[in-house]
């Protein structure tokens, strides 16, 4: 089989590109420690209340120490459950002091959802049967919108909330 010299160039460029891609991928995975979530905690999607973090009274924002918070969220059929206020009304806006470290924990009983506080690095996929977790430090004051970035059905656009980082 005879290859034209330009075919050899393109074949070589493709092989070099593949090798560079694999080196970058390996560098990110092994040296920088970038990896997908391990889903270390499994939960029964039909009984999420069995997990203490997702009992109705523990949902939403909880202060655990000075400057440290836990935010437990249940994403379900076109709604983010961020807890309830004293009157029993659902909370849609959460306030956190700037400089706080927040452990975000989320799960869902139904379908795959996305959880994204636009403008922050909080962005995760919420899958039935797993607890997704992410710890972040919120330093920049402002209001950040909570959106579902994984299409979950006809009421997908109704899934919203907000996070306000205050001085």
- For the cut 90, the answer to whether the pLDDT of residue 39 exceeds it is no
Q: Which domain holds residue 19?
A: 1-35
Angle at 138 between CA 103 and CA 96, to 5 degrees: 80
Question: What is the average pLDDT across 134-163?
Answer: 91
The pTM assigned to this predicted structure is: 0.75
Are residues 98 and 136 located together in one domain of the fold? yes
Q: Please give the radius of gyration of the chain, using alpha carbons only, rounded to the nearest integer.
A: 21
Q: Who wins on pLDDT, 9 or 86?
A: 9
| Domain annotation covers residue 27 | yes
Residues 62 and 121 in one domain: yes
The string of DSSP codes covering 88-146 is SPBP-EEEEETTEEEEEEEE-SSS-EEEEETTSS-EEEE-TTB-EEEEEEE-S-EEEEE
Asked if residue 1 has pLDDT above 80, the reply is no
Residue in the structure block whose two tokens are 């997704």: 132
Q: Please report the pLDDT score of residue 153 as a whole number.
A: 87
Element (H, E) at 165: strand 160-166
Residue 41 located in a structural domain: no
Residues 85 and 20 in one domain: no
Q: Distances from the Cα of 25 to the Cαs of 20, 21, 29, in angstroms?
A: 9, 6, 6
- Average pLDDT value for residue range 137-146: 94
Listed range (13-17, 31-35, 40-44, 131-135) with the worst mean pLDDT:
31-35
Tokens standing for residue 25: 């991928």
Q: What percent of the chain has pLDDT over 70?
A: 96
- Contact yes or no for 118/40 (Cβ under 8 A): no
Residues 90 and 142 in one domain: yes
Q: pLDDT band at 40, cuts 50/70/90?
A: confident
Residue 41 has what pLDDT?
83
Shared domain for 108 and 139, answered yes or no, is yes
Spatial distance between the Cα atoms of 31 and 104, rounded to a whole number of angstroms: 26
| Mean of pLDDT values over 53-82 | 91
**29 and 72 fall within a common domain:** no
Alpha carbon distance 59, 79 (integer Å): 13
In a domain, 63, yes or no: yes
Residue 123 lies in a domain: yes
Instruction: State the DSSP H helix or E strand holding residue 159, giving kind and residue range, or none if neither.
Output: none
- Tens-digit pLDDT profile for residues 8-32: 999 999 999 999 999 998 888 888 7
Q: Is residue 34 scored above 70 in pLDDT? A: no
Average pLDDT, whole number, for the chain?
Answer: 90
The verdict on 62 and 122 lying in the same domain is yes
Is residue 73 a contact partner of residue 10, using CB atoms and an 8 Å limit?
A: no
CATH number of the domain to which 123 belongs: 2.60.40.420
């Amino acid at each position: 089989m005879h290859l034209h010299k330009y075919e050899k160039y393109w074949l070589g460029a493709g092989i070099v590109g593949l090798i560079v891609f694999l080196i970058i991928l390996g560098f990110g995975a092994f040296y920088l420690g970038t990896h997908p979530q391990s889903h270390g905690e499994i939960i029964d999607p039909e009984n999420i209340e069995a997990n203490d973090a997702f009992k109705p009274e523990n949902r939403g924002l909880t202060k655990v120490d000075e400057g440290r918070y836990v935010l437990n969220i249940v994403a379900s059929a076109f709604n983010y459950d961020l807890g309830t206020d004293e009157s029993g009304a659902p909370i849609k806006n959460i306030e956190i002091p700037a400089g706080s470290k927040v452990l975000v924990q989320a799960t869902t009983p139904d379908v795959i959802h996305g959880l994204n506080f636009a403008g922050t690095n909080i962005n995760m996929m919420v899958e039935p049967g797993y607890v997704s977790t992410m710890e972040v430090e919120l330093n920049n004051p402002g209001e950040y919108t909570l959106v579902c970035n994984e299409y979950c059905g006809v009421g997908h656009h109704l899934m919203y909330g907000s996070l306000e980082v205050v001085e």
